[in-house]
Amino acid sequence: MPMPQLIALVIFLLALGVVLMLIFWPFVMAQNFFLLTQGIDKYTALPLTVGIAAQLLYWGAIIGVIACLASKPSLTGDSDTAVERRRYRKRLTLSGGVLIGVVALLVWGFWVPEKSGGEHYQVIKDRCRSEVGSAGEITYSLVDDCIERKIDSL
Protein backbone atom coordinates (compact mmCIF):
# COMPACT_ATOMS: atom_id res chain seq x y z
CA MET A 1 0.00 0.00 0.00
CA PRO A 2 1.54 3.35 -1.07
CA MET A 3 2.25 6.01 1.49
CA PRO A 4 -0.23 8.92 1.60
CA GLN A 5 2.65 11.40 1.67
CA LEU A 6 4.02 9.99 -1.59
CA ILE A 7 0.63 10.22 -3.26
CA ALA A 8 0.23 13.79 -2.02
CA LEU A 9 3.70 14.68 -3.34
CA VAL A 10 2.90 13.21 -6.76
CA ILE A 11 -0.41 15.11 -6.92
CA PHE A 12 1.34 18.33 -5.85
CA LEU A 13 4.07 17.94 -8.47
CA LEU A 14 1.52 17.23 -11.20
CA ALA A 15 -0.50 20.29 -10.20
CA LEU A 16 2.68 22.40 -10.14
CA GLY A 17 3.58 21.14 -13.62
CA VAL A 18 0.15 22.05 -14.97
CA VAL A 19 0.33 25.53 -13.43
CA LEU A 20 3.80 26.14 -14.87
CA MET A 21 2.65 24.90 -18.27
CA LEU A 22 -0.33 27.30 -18.20
CA ILE A 23 1.97 30.18 -17.27
CA PHE A 24 4.84 29.62 -19.73
CA TRP A 25 3.25 27.92 -22.78
CA PRO A 26 3.58 30.92 -25.18
CA PHE A 27 7.34 31.12 -24.65
CA VAL A 28 7.87 27.39 -25.19
CA MET A 29 5.49 27.27 -28.16
CA ALA A 30 7.33 30.15 -29.88
CA GLN A 31 10.70 28.47 -29.42
CA ASN A 32 9.46 25.13 -30.75
CA PHE A 33 7.85 26.89 -33.72
CA PHE A 34 11.17 28.37 -34.84
CA LEU A 35 13.02 25.10 -34.27
CA LEU A 36 10.55 22.93 -36.17
CA THR A 37 9.69 25.27 -39.04
CA GLN A 38 13.04 26.95 -39.70
CA GLY A 39 15.58 24.87 -37.79
CA ILE A 40 16.69 27.83 -35.67
CA ASP A 41 18.11 26.92 -32.24
CA LYS A 42 15.74 27.56 -29.36
CA TYR A 43 18.18 29.70 -27.38
CA THR A 44 19.22 32.17 -30.05
CA ALA A 45 18.11 35.79 -30.28
CA LEU A 46 15.06 35.48 -32.54
CA PRO A 47 13.19 32.68 -30.72
CA LEU A 48 14.03 34.18 -27.32
CA THR A 49 12.88 37.67 -28.30
CA VAL A 50 9.66 36.49 -29.94
CA GLY A 51 9.00 34.09 -27.05
CA ILE A 52 9.44 36.83 -24.46
CA ALA A 53 7.19 39.19 -26.43
CA ALA A 54 4.51 36.49 -26.69
CA GLN A 55 4.85 35.77 -22.98
CA LEU A 56 4.47 39.46 -22.07
CA LEU A 57 1.42 39.80 -24.31
CA TYR A 58 -0.17 36.76 -22.65
CA TRP A 59 0.63 37.97 -19.13
CA GLY A 60 -0.72 41.43 -19.98
CA ALA A 61 -4.05 39.95 -21.04
CA ILE A 62 -4.22 37.87 -17.85
CA ILE A 63 -3.37 40.89 -15.69
CA GLY A 64 -6.13 42.82 -17.44
CA VAL A 65 -8.69 40.16 -16.52
CA ILE A 66 -7.41 40.02 -12.92
CA ALA A 67 -7.51 43.82 -12.62
CA CYS A 68 -11.06 43.85 -13.93
CA LEU A 69 -12.09 41.13 -11.48
CA ALA A 70 -10.50 43.08 -8.63
CA SER A 71 -12.42 46.25 -9.51
CA LYS A 72 -15.83 44.74 -8.76
CA PRO A 73 -18.19 47.48 -7.56
CA SER A 74 -19.42 47.43 -4.00
CA LEU A 75 -23.07 46.60 -3.51
CA THR A 76 -24.11 49.38 -1.11
CA GLY A 77 -27.64 49.86 -2.36
CA ASP A 78 -27.08 53.21 -4.08
CA SER A 79 -28.98 54.05 -7.22
CA ASP A 80 -25.74 53.89 -9.22
CA THR A 81 -25.23 50.21 -8.41
CA ALA A 82 -27.04 48.96 -11.50
CA VAL A 83 -24.98 51.28 -13.70
CA GLU A 84 -21.78 50.20 -11.96
CA ARG A 85 -22.66 46.54 -12.36
CA ARG A 86 -23.33 47.05 -16.08
CA ARG A 87 -19.99 48.82 -16.52
CA TYR A 88 -18.28 46.05 -14.58
CA ARG A 89 -19.85 43.36 -16.79
CA LYS A 90 -18.83 45.26 -19.91
CA ARG A 91 -15.22 45.63 -18.67
CA LEU A 92 -15.13 41.97 -17.69
CA THR A 93 -16.51 40.90 -21.08
CA LEU A 94 -14.02 43.10 -22.90
CA SER A 95 -11.01 41.93 -20.90
CA GLY A 96 -12.10 38.29 -21.21
CA GLY A 97 -12.51 38.78 -24.96
CA VAL A 98 -9.04 40.30 -25.17
CA LEU A 99 -7.58 37.29 -23.29
CA ILE A 100 -9.37 34.85 -25.60
CA GLY A 101 -8.19 36.85 -28.62
CA VAL A 102 -4.58 36.89 -27.42
CA VAL A 103 -4.61 33.14 -26.79
CA ALA A 104 -6.16 32.50 -30.21
CA LEU A 105 -3.61 34.78 -31.87
CA LEU A 106 -0.69 33.05 -30.16
CA VAL A 107 -1.94 29.56 -30.99
CA TRP A 108 -2.64 30.55 -34.60
CA GLY A 109 0.71 32.31 -34.99
CA PHE A 110 2.87 29.59 -33.47
CA TRP A 111 1.01 26.49 -34.62
CA VAL A 112 3.52 24.16 -36.25
CA PRO A 113 2.29 22.99 -39.67
CA GLU A 114 1.38 19.33 -39.94
CA LYS A 115 4.44 17.54 -41.25
CA SER A 116 5.89 14.12 -40.74
CA GLY A 117 8.87 13.61 -38.49
CA GLY A 118 11.04 13.09 -41.55
CA GLU A 119 10.10 16.49 -42.94
CA HIS A 120 10.90 18.21 -39.63
CA TYR A 121 14.19 16.30 -39.55
CA GLN A 122 14.99 17.47 -43.10
CA VAL A 123 14.35 21.12 -42.15
CA ILE A 124 16.71 20.79 -39.18
CA LYS A 125 19.29 18.94 -41.29
CA ASP A 126 19.22 21.61 -44.02
CA ARG A 127 19.60 24.36 -41.44
CA CYS A 128 22.56 22.58 -39.83
CA ARG A 129 24.22 22.11 -43.22
CA SER A 130 23.87 25.83 -43.93
CA GLU A 131 25.23 26.71 -40.48
CA VAL A 132 28.23 24.36 -40.70
CA GLY A 133 29.05 24.81 -44.38
CA SER A 134 31.08 22.29 -46.38
CA ALA A 135 34.71 21.67 -45.51
CA GLY A 136 35.20 17.96 -46.02
CA GLU A 137 34.83 14.97 -43.74
CA ILE A 138 34.72 17.01 -40.55
CA THR A 139 31.52 18.56 -41.86
CA TYR A 140 29.52 15.34 -41.45
CA SER A 141 30.48 15.09 -37.80
CA LEU A 142 29.62 18.75 -37.17
CA VAL A 143 26.28 18.45 -38.98
CA ASP A 144 25.44 15.31 -36.98
CA ASP A 145 26.34 17.09 -33.74
CA CYS A 146 24.19 20.08 -34.74
CA ILE A 147 21.22 17.86 -35.63
CA GLU A 148 21.60 15.91 -32.38
CA ARG A 149 21.75 19.12 -30.32
CA LYS A 150 18.62 20.56 -31.94
CA ILE A 151 16.61 17.37 -31.68
CA ASP A 152 17.67 16.89 -28.06
CA SER A 153 16.38 20.38 -27.25
CA LEU A 154 12.88 19.31 -28.26
Contact 143, 59 (CB under 8 A): no
pLDDT in tens, 47-88: 999 999 999 999 999 998 888 888 877 666 555 677 788 888
Count of CB atoms within 10 A of residue 139's CB? 14
Using alpha carbons, list the distances in angstroms from residue 81 to 2, 96, 146: 54, 22, 64
From the list 37, 20, 31, the residue with the least C-alpha distance to 53 is 31
Task: For the chain, state the CA radius of gyration.
Answer: 23
pLDDT in tens, 111-154: 888 888 888 888 888 888 888 876 666 777 888 888 888 888 87
Listed in sequence order, the residues at least 6 apart from 48 whose beta carbon sits closer than 8 Å to its beta carbon are: 31
- pTM of the entire structure? 0.75
